[in-house]
Structure 1
Amino acid sequence: MSARKTRLPFANAWFFPAAALYAAVLLPWSVLALFGLLPTPAGLLSPLGHAHEMLFGFALAVVAGYLLGPQPLPLILSLLGCWALARLGWLFWPGAWWTVVAAALFAGGVAWNVVPRFLGAAKKWRNQIVAPVVASLALLSAIASLPLPLELTPRLMHEALLLLAMLLFFMGGRIIAPAVAGHMMSQGHILDARVQPRLEGAALILLGLALLSNLLPWALASQVSGFLLLSVGLLAGVRLLRWQPWRCARRPDLLVLLLGYLWLSVGLLLFGLALLTTALPLSASLHGLTIGALGTLTFAVMARTRLIYRLRDANARPWIHPVAVLLSLAALARILPPLLQLEPFPWLLLSAACWSLAFLLLAVLLWQTRGRFNHKP
């Protein structure tokens, strides 16, 4: 009898729990440290440090877990170790040589194993967008771990956020569209507008132009970026409406994905408006993308991926999907107070508490389903 071929483990089995726990701890820690209620590590002395870990710590771990797929366990643990060492180094010894090396090894390792699978794998240029986006995120992650001039850091963070927005926009067409179409077909309806290639292509081109204009130092370039982001936000909204989300009322897993995509549209609109007018604070508007879109979509993808892989049913644990509403509350608690001129402290605490509770509960789900395979509860 021939030996049975060993099945490679999926990277998300390790990276998703690490990302969920890190998200649950990082945000309340940074908020409480900001008000002197907890000791402040060197990496969180400024809001830019918090943004760094949100994008290159939490978000990049989710990207790695989702896109790496099945890999040899030594490789997964090596990359996870580099990620953890880079997080520890950034928090307590930012700029140290070993922090930079760990961040570069993690980012480079992810890019080395992800980019070749997508580069040239499809004939249409839209379907190859993952490769340059992941490569660019990896490069920015390595650069951001260096001791940079303070005036360069916000621009670099905006570039990373726009790259993640591009990835979310693209992956929405690959995750949400077929899932909604499959559900509608089971209900006797046909969804004609799925990927919507022309709309997707236009949005990706506009986001690419926004990435370029964001690098330019002129005031006019900021206005151009604002107009481009407004246009993409509107296109994302049109795409969402053409998916007919009202037909998914009985599928909470799909509703959470659609809620995250709604936040992507809103977040891009807010970002664009903040660049075009001083009436909308930029720091507040960015949370539509970071907490609303990035938080909700990563939450939904991590929960849905684990439930489908382990239990073959995205709604096998129905309690987890309403938890995503906490992330919308967290986003609103960061966006509305500056607009309404409210005292920020209680709203910051509320936002951090909602975010942290959501990802703690996600970590509980990931733990509960860690050893279950292919059977329903």
Structure 2
Amino acid sequence: MSTAASRRAYRGPALFSFGFRPFYLMGALWSALVVPLWLWSYLAGGPGMLTRDWHVHEMLFGFLAAVIAGFLTTAVPNWTGRMPIIGAPLAQLAGLWLAGRVAMLFQASIGPVAAGVIDSLFLMVFAGVIWREVLAGRNWRNLPVCGLVTALAVGNIAFHLHGVTWASALGERLALGVAILLLALIGGRITPSFTRNWLKARAASAQPAVFGPIDQAALALTGVAVASWALFPDAVFSGALLALAGLANLVRLARWSGWASRAEALVWVLHLGYGWLGLSLLLLGASILDPAIPRTAGIHALTAGAVGVMTLAVMTRSTRGHSGRDLRADAATTAVYVAINAAAVARVAAPFTGLWQQTLLIISAALWILAFAGFAASYGPMLILPRPLRA
């Protein structure tokens, strides 16, 4: 049975008819909850389990992992032509993710070892599923994606080795590195592709440059820079490589005719997300080369900027497309895009502002919550309810 036929034959709850449905919804809701919980702990001394490590873990291995799972469980069947993961298997996979969130929230009660084991199951199983599908479908082009999902699973296990400081730190950098490479690889495919489709439909003269040596060089340089930073985070050569990778990705972005798509938010937001990636690499590299530049500015240009903007860009577009809606941003969608970009600007600016830092942290958190809670509110019905019948 083909991918399309298996989906048409599915008769269960709509929520488990596509991988993006449960994972985008759970990821958005969890993201909108983690940030205020962490801010409460950071500013007002909330519950002891809401540590900095919990915040980092849940944003990287909870929220980001959910969005990656939603995207890949939807995309991989289209890449391979094999049966999609839907129905009971999808519900079980989503249940593993949810069990990890509960375990991490109550790790003080069940113990860090039990919490780590329960939490690690999701990414290990998910990585196995992706490997199985890509190999069985002989989809060799996407083997790097399998490797990155595996690296995320390994990083999660390393993060849980709390007694080994270097391992936990390495796990965090691995997750950030996976985010960078997935954005460069997948974002570098869909941004020019969707832009080209939109411009062609309007007979526009501007067109994104086709994939070529500049793109290959940028991807290779980004991979080397990420590997160097993961292993040697404070080395000058790592900083130089990251800064060069940032410039290379901005050059790559400049060739995709983003300005010509400014009339459609669903398209231009992809360019903004990729722009945040280039900026984050520049800031990360600069913070290693010049200690006066806060490392946290580069980290949050990546997490709040590149990850936050690009995940919402992908979540909104794929939800609209797969649920039968027009590929056009409505007012709620545009508001979500504005909120997430403003949240990223405030968060990146915060460490440079001295006395205003705490105020900007609160503003950034409020805008982040608005963006992801806004997505859940406006897109939740599309994710939960069946695709509307065509007239």
Give TM-score scaled by structure 1 length. 0.90
Say whether 1:20 aligns with 2:34: no
Structure 2 unaligned residues grouped into runs of 5+? 1-5, 75-83
**Aligned residues of 2:17 and 2:87 also touching (Cα < 8 A):** yes
Q: 1 CA distance for matches of 2:267 and 2:155?
A: 32
Q: Against the structure 1 CA distance between its residues 303 and 192, is the aligned structure 2 distance closer, same or farther, given a 3 Å change threshold?
A: closer
1:96 matched residue in structure 2? 112
Q: Against the structure 1 CA distance between its residues 249 and 210, is the aligned structure 2 distance closer, same or farther, given a 3 Å change threshold?
A: closer
1:278 matched residue in structure 2? 291
Q: Name which of 169, 173, 176 aligns with 2:188.
A: 173
**Aligned residues of 1:193 and 1:243 also touching (Cα < 8 A):** yes
Q: CA deviation at 1:9?
A: 1.5
Q: CA deviation at 1:133?
A: 0.8
With 6-15 and 346-355 compared, the bigger mean Cα shift is at: 6-15
Q: Against the structure 1 CA distance between its residues 59 and 231, is the aligned structure 2 distance closer, same or farther, given a 3 Å change threshold?
A: same
1:40 matched residue in structure 2? 47
Please give the per-residue CA displacement for 1:316-373, whole angstroms capped at 9, x wherever unaligned.
Answer: 6342123212122212222213223233221111111000010001001222323252
Q: 2 CA distance for matches of 1:320 and 1:215?
A: 35
1:107 matched residue in structure 2? 123
Q: CA deviation at 1:122?
A: 4.8
Say whether 1:336 aligns with 2:341: no
Q: 1 CA distance for matches of 2:307 and 2:390?
A: 29
Q: Name which of 29, 40, 43 aligns with 2:37.
A: 29
**Aligned residues of 1:316 and 1:376 also touching (Cα < 8 A):** no
SS of 1:314 mapped into structure 2:
coil
SS of 2:355 mapped into structure 1:
coil
Aligned length: 368
**Aligned residues of 1:227 and 1:272 also touching (Cα < 8 A):** yes
Q: Name which of 254, 274, 277 aligns with 2:267.
A: 254
**Aligned residues of 1:181 and 1:194 also touching (Cα < 8 A):** no
Structure 1 unaligned residues grouped into runs of 5+? none
Q: 2 CA distance for matches of 1:87 and 1:73?
A: 21
Q: Name which of 37, 50, 56 aligns with 1:51.
A: 56
2:93 matched residue in structure 1? 79
Please give the per-residue CA displacement for 1:234-271, whole angstroms capped at 9, x wherever unaligned.
Answer: 11111111111111122110011111111111111111
Q: 2 CA distance for matches of 1:107 and 1:144?
A: 13
Give the percent of matched residue pairs that are identical in Structure 1 and Structure 2: 32
Q: 1 CA distance for matches of 2:233 and 2:113?
A: 33
Give TM-score scaled by structure 2 length. 0.87
Q: RMSD value over aligned CA atoms?
A: 2.4
2:308 matched residue in structure 1? 295
**Aligned residues of 2:350 and 2:361 also touching (Cα < 8 A):** no
With 59-68 and 70-79 compared, the bigger mean Cα shift is at: 70-79
Say whether 1:5 aligns with 2:13: no
Q: Which amino acid aligns with 1:298?
A: T
Q: Against the structure 1 CA distance between its residues 212 and 174, is the aligned structure 2 distance closer, same or farther, given a 3 Å change threshold?
A: closer
1:128 matched residue in structure 2? 143
